[in-house]
Amino acid sequence: MNNIPFSKFLRLSFAVAFLSPLFFVAQAQAQSACQCNWYGATYPMCQNQTTGWGWESSASCIGSQTCSSQGGGGGPIGDCSGSSSSSSSSSSSSSSSSTSSSSTSSSSASSTTSSSSTSSSSTSGGTCTESCKWYQDDPRPLCQNQSSGWGYENGQSCIGRTTCESQSGNGGVVSSCSGSSSSSSSSSSSSSSSSSSSSSSSSSSSSSSSSSSSSSSSSSSGGSNSITVRMSGTVGEENVSLQIAGQTIQSWTLTTSMMNYTVNTNSTGELRVAFTNDSGDLDVQVDYVIVNGVTYQAEDQQDNTGAYDGECGGGSYSEMLHCDGSIGFGNPFTGSSSSSSSSSSSSSSSSSSSSSSSSSSGGSRNYPPFFVGNITTNGSVRSDFSQYWDQITPENEGKWGSVEGTRDQYNWGPLDAIYDYARANGIPVKAHTMVWGSQQPGWIGGLSASEQAAEIEEWIRDYCERYPDTQMMDVVNEAVSGHAPAAYAQSAFGNDWIIKSFQLARQYCPNTILIYNDYNFMTWNTTEIMDLIRPAVQAGVVDALGLQAHSLYDPQNWTAQQIQDKLDLISTLGVPLYISEYDIEATNDQTQLEYMQRHFPLFYDHPNVYGITLWGYVVGSTWRDGTGLIQSNGQKRPAMDWLMNYLGR
């Protein structure tokens, strides 16, 4: 239970295959008219993949085989005679437009879809490869035949470059090099006809190129210490080296994109990121360094000999390198760093640390280990809670109306008890919920727009200052039309109220995983919710999505395949998922057991689900009748027995 889902075997069901350009041109008109009736809803048919859900032309699409496999009268509609399912030859990854020669390393993509290709070259026995560090997980392959969403290539799941680079937190494209001298390049192309990039042309773009200096230590080829430096250059020609104990371990030539540069080494000692400036126009921005999973923010370090303040001379607490010099990170292998005791950050990536100040520009956010949690019972935590669950959410105690029913008079007592319990038992807390159009204070609606804005900010600020170790937070809840959007927040901030709410949460809770939470996300309102939250996700303010799961078998019985497809589709937004409010409303023990056995493994095994929170567990003390899993005396219902055995608890 201490492994996040990506440490499990990736099981995304996407199978990406590119159409021959000649076939695509001939059939484009027919493709555009082909759609999928997906259980009563109409979606575009994917042109570049036959199975699973995809993302093309700025819209969700469904593969023709997946569309055709559903029951209930759904399937392809319109003129689908030229769809991607018609012939295996249409999905050939090799076409006449793709060429390669012994003199140049070239790759071509014949598709209207933006594609991403990765090439690597080596000298003196060294090689560099690019991959995607997906949040806190180990690096995963980058897709070569699609730039966004998730794909399936060469017998394994892969991540599109755009999706990889758009995530928040400490993830991104990483370049891993071994040997004494290496270079790698990555190019992204979008063209309606075939495009090719050779090793000679891609090197000039220096999109993630890296080269090791002659003084590189041989320890760069491997070792027990994993180091990632996230940085960018203003021009894209900046030369930066990683130094440990005075020795250069690895050197890179930066790009203008903020990227992760990774190396493994056995060296230990003082760590420095050094910049040699041979041109006045060059500058380097160092975001952070990760050493063996612990994050050290550059702006928190007091030792920066390359800082510029009107003249070269060094400084402190700056992530910029302009002059010849370096940023010192102390000796992170022993836990010491160059940040002073008064620094606003502990330089630790632990999400339970409370020393990170809200003034930190980026914060240090870690996703907790995979959990199966639950909520409070009748306003308190039962003594048997930690026997079954390893994450806690206040059911009602953390809602704004419960805390500040009277303006400027806070009732923190119930929340204090929950946080005290969580700290004592070492389990994460998810705050629920900050901005919601239900259970808000009755007085907020009668205020002016400016007063409402001030009160929303005050509420989020005061919560974050009191509980800075909040690991996760439902910032905005149920905002889709017809659910419970917060009218007072829209009055305060206008149509961008969702993004503004998340920005406030990021400002005051910089180390917290910020979540958008909604119901019917996996059932009737998938498209509406995705369209609503996509701008905030693309703005980089949403860290994860909460998928409530209250009605998966009544009034409609959703099949395992339907749920799997919806999880895959929602994952194309590019952020982790949480099953946030799961219950099974069944007074019949066998019915509850049957659906628990159907649903739970799907959630637990999906690679993009990072945790599961059930919504109550004591019979007679849950929000919905029939959802309890144990009697008040502790006697388990069959579904609870099965679940505990499944989890090994």
In tens, the pLDDT along 443-499 reads 999 999 999 999 999 999 999 999 999 999 999 999 999 999 999 999 999 999 999
Say if residue 102's pLDDT is above 80.
no
Residue located via tokens 């991104």: 172
Res 314 pLDDT > 80: no
Does the pLDDT at position 209 exceed 50?
A: no
Q: pLDDT band at 90, cuts 50/70/90?
A: very low
State how far the alpha carbon of 613 is from the alpha carbons of 369, 393, 446, 522, 599, in Å: 13, 8, 35, 15, 13
**Cβ-proximal residues to 564 (8 Å cutoff; 6+ apart), any chain:** 13, 602, 606
Q: Which of 30-34, 48-52, 303-307, 537-541 has the highest mean pLDDT?
A: 537-541
Choice among 299, 478, 581, 585 that is catalytic:
581
Average pLDDT over residues 336-358: 35
Q: What is the mean pLDDT of residues 103-125?
A: 35
Find which of 163-177, 230-244, 272-286 is predicted with most confidence, using mean pLDDT: 230-244
For helices 589-605 and 560-571, the axis angle rounded to 10 degrees is 30
Q: Please state the pTM of the whole predicted model.
A: 0.50
pLDDT, tens only, 399-431: 999 999 999 999 999 999 999 999 999 999 999
Residues 6+ apart with CB under 8 A from 565: 13, 52, 53, 66
Coil/strand/helix, residue 477: strand
**pLDDT confidence tier of residue 138, bands split at 50, 70 and 90:** low
Distance between CA atoms of residues 224 and 292, nearest Å: 9
Angle at 231 between CA 227 and CA 237, to 5 degrees: 120
- Active site annotation includes 130: no
Q: What whole-number distance in Å separates Cα of residue 68 and Cα of residue 63? A: 9
Label residue 136 by pLDDT band (50, 70, 90). low
Mean pLDDT (whole number) for 281-287: 87
Backbone angles phi, psi at 615, to 5 degrees: -105, 75
**pLDDT band at 87; cut points 50, 70, 90:** very low
Domain boundaries, the chain: 18-91, 114-191+204-328, 371-647
**Model confidence at 193: pLDDT above 90:** no
The CATH class of 114-191+204-328 is mainly beta
Share the mean pLDDT of the chain.
75
Closest by Cα among 160, 330, 182 to 262: 182
**Same fold? 114-191+204-328, 371-647:** no
Residues 70-90: what's their mean pLDDT? Answer: 57
* DSSP string for residues in 188-240: EE--SS-EEEEHHHHHHHTTT-----TT--GGGB--SEEEEEEEEESSS--EE
Split at pLDDT 50, 70, 90, the class of 521 is: very high
* Confidence at residue 486, expressed as pLDDT on a 0 to 100 scale: 97
pLDDT, residue 54, reads 60
Mean pLDDT of 73-83: 73
Question: Residue 104 and residue 296: Cα distance in Å, rounded?
Answer: 40
Residue 281 pLDDT exceeds 70: yes
Q: Which of 148-157, 477-486, 538-547, 564-573 has the least mean pLDDT?
A: 148-157
Q: Report helix angle 449-466 to 497-508, nearest 10.
A: 30
Least confident segment among 29-33, 306-310, 339-343: 339-343
Question: DSSP labels for 250-296?
Answer: EEEE--SS-EEEEEEES--S-EEEEEE--STT--EEEEEEEETTEEE
With cut-offs at 50, 70 and 90, classify the pLDDT of residue 22: very low
Q: What is the mean pLDDT of residues 8-29?
A: 38
Mean pLDDT, range 297-314, rounded to an integer? 83
State residue 222's pLDDT score: 65
Asked, as a colleague might, if the bond just before 433 is cis with ω within 30 of 0, I would say: yes
Least confident of 36-50, 166-180, 279-293, 494-508: 166-180
Return the structure tokens found at 193: 């006809």
| Winning range, highest mean pLDDT, from 49-58, 527-536, 545-554 | 527-536
Please state the rounded mean pLDDT for residues 206-215. 33
Tokens representing 527 are: 């498209």
pLDDT value at position 373?
A: 97
Contact criterion met (CB below 8 Å) for 27 and 96: no
Give the pLDDT of residue 56: 65
Higher pLDDT, 201 or 492: 492
pLDDT of 49: 72
> Residue 401 belongs to what H/E stretch?
helix 400-403
Sign of CA dihedral 54, 59, 63, 67: positive
Phi, psi (deg, nearest 5) at residue 594:
-60, -45
Report the candidate in 512, 584, 581 with the shortest Cα–Cα distance to residue 542: 512
Provide the pLDDT for residue 195: 33
- At residue 455, the pLDDT reads 96
Do 583 and 626 form a contact (C-beta atoms < 8 A)?
no
Does residue 148 register a pLDDT over 70? no
- Overall average pLDDT of the 271-276 stretch: 93
Hey, which of 160-169, 261-270, 403-412 has the most confident mean pLDDT? 403-412
Task: Determine the pLDDT at residue 82.
Answer: 58
Q: Is the pLDDT of residue 617 over 90?
A: yes
Q: What is the pLDDT of residue 150?
A: 63
Return the CA Rg of the chain: 26
Interior/surface letters 20-45, b for 16+ CB within 10 angstroms, e for the rest:
bbebbeebeeebeebbbbbbeeebbb
Mean pLDDT to the nearest integer, 58-69: 69
Angle at 110 between CA 105 and CA 112, to 5 degrees: 135
Residue 200 scores a pLDDT above 50: no
Query: 186-190, 312-316, 404-408 — which is least confidently predicted?
Result: 186-190
Q: Which amino acid is at 476?
A: V
pLDDT confidence tier of residue 217, bands split at 50, 70 and 90: very low
Picking from 117-126, 595-604, 607-616, which range would have the lowest pLDDT averaged per residue?
117-126
Residue 154's pLDDT is: 67
* pLDDT of amino acid 317: 78
Cα 564–Cα 568–Cα 569 angle in degrees, nearest 5: 115
- Average pLDDT, stretch 65-79? 70
| CATH 1.10.390.10 corresponds to the domain 371-647 | no
How far is 205 from 443, CA to CA, in rounded Å?
A: 57
How many angstroms separate the CA atoms of 474 and 516, rounded? Answer: 6
The helix/strand/coil state of 488 is helix
CATH top-level class for 18-91?
A: mainly beta
Reported confidence tier of residue 88, pLDDT bands at 50, 70, 90: very low
Of residues 366 and 542, more confidence is placed in 542
Residue 357 has pLDDT above 90, yes or no: no
- Look at the block and give the residue holding tokens 């917060």: 486
